[in-house]
Structure 1
Amino acid sequence: MGITKLANLIHFDAPESMRRKEIGDYSGKIIALDTSIVVNQFRSALPSHLKLSPLTGLFYRTLTFLEHDIKPVFVLDGRPPNQKRAVLEKRAQSTGWNSLQSSNTGVCSCIRLIDKSAVTCLKWVPGSEHLFLVAHSSGCLYLYNVEHTCGTTPPHYQLLKQGESYAVHTGKSKSAHNPLLRWTAPGEAEALCAHLVKSGTVNAVASEDMDTLAFGGTVLLRQLNAKRDSEVTEYSLPKLLEALQLTYKEFVDLCILLGCDYCDKIGGLGPSRALKLIKQHHTIEGVMEHVNRKTHPIPPNWQYKDARKLFFETPKVDDPVLAWSEPDEEGLVQFLCKERPLKEERVRGRMKKFRESLLKRRKQREVDEKMGQTRQSRLEEFFPATRRRKAVSAAVEASSGRKRSKMK
């Protein structure tokens, strides 16, 4: 969900912090992507009767990014904070998480004892006839053995191995019971994406969730996709704070008042009213002292401090070493066509188009670099022609043409 109605508030109260761009404007940039959002977009867009994997859409979109010389960094969710548990359970219930009960692996009966969140993937361990992995939207990964039984009570775990960005637990049971192992990784993808752009590791974050800004992400891109006519919206956090005349701490409190995934919100408080109250009183504590609690009831045992702390925390991860290489066509065919139902001619056809497009762009880049010493800058380079500008330009030209015809 992100931050409720934050995009609307920015549109009306801080439009100078937004810019309309096109995908080509990010050529040569490193972009962090919230992978769960991208995958869920494709999953929701695919008709259920087709039984296609969202990885198909991810394949096409990734190649489009590479064609535009965009270097994508896919960031995965770890284990979500406890504050998000209620939101995840509501989402799981609305999407029918127990639809896997028809599985004959015998695992679904014990999944409920482990985690009520949605099962996102079942995968056999390569080379094994008995071991398989179960991934949850909670960010946990479990290892099962079909020859072992499941316990009748929720399992208890003990730490087996731990690193900066992961932890592996094993069951405390004396006898072998499922699950055998549990992997967890800390934090939300939005928080890590925001950390990467703040540290300068990437140039921007591509996500549809506005809470990337609340986590301190300095540049957020929305609608960065593979559609030719798509217009990207770029948000700048420094310009947003300047336009709203807020400090970052005040902005985080504003986001909590608007509504986030980590706690409830004050009832009946709209964006304009919330912004006005934060400007007047600067903190949620100050707002609570002056708000009318009859018209704007405050949630009982409101955990806003935990949500605030979550937005301010820096993910405890090692700085990633990023590297990109040419796509492995044979590996893609093996995975998407042999292990998945995608047709091989489609994959190879798209790869051929990708190589041709990449070669054309590289040659054009070489020509531009050679002409760089004598080439005069054009006005369009300072003001890229987006769809909106093209439409305005076309309207002006049409209008000018009509006037000239009358003068004849």
Structure 2
Amino acid sequence: MPAPYACDPSVSRGRLYPEPESSFRSCFQRDRDRIIHSSAFRRLKHKTQVFVEHEGDYFRTRLTHSIEVAQVARTISGALGLNEELTEAVALAHDLGHTPFGHTGEDALHALMAPYGGFDHNAQAIRIVTALERHYAEFDGLNLTWETLEGIAKHNGPVKPPLPAALAEYATRHDLELATHASAEAQVAALSDDVAYNNHDLHDGLRAGLFTDDDICGLPIVGPAYAEVDRTYPGLEPRRRRHEALRRVFGAMVSDVIKVSRAALETSGAQTADDIRTLGRQVIRFSDGMWAEIQGIRAFLFERMYRAPDVKRMRADVTRVVEDLFPLFMSDPTQLPSDWRTDVLEAEDEEALARIVADYIAGMTDRFALETHQRLIG
């Protein structure tokens, strides 16, 4: 039985361009399916989280991460009586706007775009699903429902001025009520992202040899998980021991979110999805204790993984790739592929051209960015 504050597809605020409803899929299911079939979603296969795409077949990519987030999000959403299809759609779309080379690429592109309104991956995701995906006869983008667009734009909370340029541009055409919180479904997608990357960054860091199982046994949540495995399965082989421990870490975080959020929803007094938006606070959250322990894990990962010497060297290399390509395309837009030339010809000024160049670079995969840099610059 859906909760009263769950988003109901039958009363969706609809799409920017009206379309006939499907006879066998809800509007949120159609959103999810359009996201999965988009070009941007497929490109996530070759965009990495921390490591560069070619460094190993077992490290997470943005695609595998998005699928893991969607799985966690559906579990939490179902336990709370929310709409699982909307939650899944937002979870699958939340990383569509990421550049090649993870946050390193985003930082580099944001610095280059500073004179033109900056770059933000959440805003870029909106730009992708409302303009850059060009497959349908009657509109640009995917023409997603208001609820899905809202979730992509503000799943991390209200968006405060100054708005990122890509989001500000769309807001002039379609009011996503950026000053309020998002639906409970979108909030679930945001916390599911935290659950997923905390766990898989531990796993990827171990696989990369940046730290050992013994190193992380002193961490909150993680240490007790390893201890429980050792009690239950003494002498378990290392690979199984690691898997059993990290899945317990995963489970502890998910259980905490469900328990705390269920209580917050019950005491909120919310009777509609709009009540959630106007509460003025997040209702999907970790307990204070769990959040403090997660921060302890994040501090460890920053020191031992994100700032590891090999990772820092890689970050410097890929930053240079973005810093070389952007001015090249700005000074000579004819280097852009032919299907981007129409946009270039229609660019009214330097800022419009910069946004086109940023769109092109942001859409690159790790591999394609490296190959393009080698071909054009050497």
Same fold (TM over 0.5): no
TM-score, normalization: structure 2?
0.26
Rg bigger for which structure? 1
Q: Which has the higher strand share?
A: 1
